[in-house]
Structure 1
Amino acid sequence: MAQLDKALQFFSWAKDGRDCTEISVAELDAADSATLAVLLEWTQQAAGRGVPLRIHGASPKLRELASLYSLQDILPLCHD
């Protein structure tokens, strides 16, 4: 959880009023199921507001973990 707290300081949120909300997780060194749970919650909250969420900078490990839990179609993880 400490790693996730640290990563939250580096997340880059887009301004409201856009057609989507974007965050960057590029500074996230480690990822685990708790990380996926938080990202899933944020995705669901954004969808509830009618504003899609895009998650940029996802590492291969984070994308692999999402795939392991069959979340690759739910979590909008971009590796750019």
Structure 2
Amino acid sequence: MRNLRRDPRISISVYDLANPHTYVEIRGTAEIVPDEGKLLLRELWRKYLGVDLPAAKNGEDRVIIRVVPRKIVGVPA
């Protein structure tokens, strides 16, 4: 997070494993948002694992990295 605070520029690339010539790249800036009460984490645990989030470790802080896209490039299959 230290690097994102210093320079919020971010780039994310996702490739299709079956066809590496197919991809999408998102360039933009990152916003660091606190996940108060771990609401997003709890929601994701329920959605994808079907169970409630286990008890939190003491002093554990969670954040959400929100990407604000400036440019999206993709090569379709």
Q: TM-score range by the shorter chain?
A: under 0.3
- Higher normalized strand content (fraction of residues): 2
- Higher normalized helix content (fraction of residues): 1
Which structure's relative contact order is higher, taking Cα pairs within 8 Å and 6+ residues apart?
Answer: 2
So what's the TM-score if we normalise by structure 1? Answer: 0.22
So what's the TM-score if we normalise by structure 2? Answer: 0.22
